[in-house]
Amino acid sequence: MKAVQIQEILRELGTRPSKRWGQHFLLSNATAEEIVALGEIQAGETVLEVGPGVGILTAPLLDRTRNLIAVEKDPILAEYLRKRFPQLELLVGDVLRVTLPPYEKVVSNLPFEISSPFLGRLLEVPFKRAVLTLQREFAERVVGEPGTRAYSRLSVKVHYRAEARVRRTIPRSAFWPAPEVDAAVVQIDARDPPFPVDRDAYFRVVDALFLHRRKTALNALRLAAPSLGRPEGAIEEALQGDPLARQRADAMQPEEMAGLTHRLFPSKD
């Protein structure tokens, strides 16, 4: 699909791309087919698409499944999609607010502005695979490894719930209007947590470590004592003699952060 075709569709609808809603339309049908293929959609699986726009992913998705749920915030584009794809189950509204039915997979050119909250919501519900087009820098944080600048609390929380990898990059010129940054397609496959740990306590420890990522784990956790619900003295006592206490968050493996969590919040079993 060429930019002039999208421009003509929007002109006929009496609308134009919304900066507020982060509307950037993918131009390449070949890239769309590649993104959809990464979903490896099986018969009977329900698929969620967020921000379908004018339907460049919707069409190839409907070639693979009859169970496609699309969520479009723009009511003008929603009406266009309803007419173009009468078989589509379409929800009109903010995907962060609407009640979503169960789904197995997500395949979406996600509006960059909602990447973080949507991913947080995704990781809280059952799913098999998500294939998401994200801002490239954000994608690098999703798959970040210890010792890299991209490594973050997001990297650790995704690792706890899933395996994630960047499958390809997409230049900003492949969208209209062009965003200010390049994009990347990330494949996220859900799995069971790779180690046993109390999830809520673990996430609080991870947040504390990265809030003060340039400090040692001991100092970071002491500074975060109120949010952890532990006095500083108890934190020092729990971590006494632990070599991890001298490391910084950006050098620690997720499993090592789980070890710190066990030290701070020992099991009552």
CA-CA distance, 200 to 10, in Å (whole number)?
45
Average pLDDT for residues 54-69, to the nearest whole number? 97
Q: Per-residue pLDDT tens for 19-55? A: 888 899 999 999 999 999 999 999 899 999 999 999 9
Pick 199-264's CATH classification: 2.60.120.10, 3.40.1410.10, 1.10.8.100, 3.90.1580.10. 1.10.8.100
At residue 268, the pLDDT reads: 59
Q: List the structure tokens of 213.
A: 């990522």
Chain-centroid distance of CA 248 in Å reads 25
Q: Per-residue pLDDT tens for 102-132? A: 999 999 999 999 999 999 999 999 999 999 9
At residue 236, the pLDDT reads: 93
Name the 3-class secondary structure at 136. helix
Cα→Cα distances 260→65, 157, 162, 228, Å: 44, 15, 21, 12
Domain ranges of the chain: 3-190, 199-264
pLDDT greater than 70 at residue 269:
no
Q: What is the pTM of this model?
A: 0.94
CATH topology of domain 3-190: Rossmann fold (3.40.50)
Residue count (the chain): 269
67's enclosing H/E stretch is none
Cα→Cα distances 38→106, 129, 130, Å: 11, 9, 9
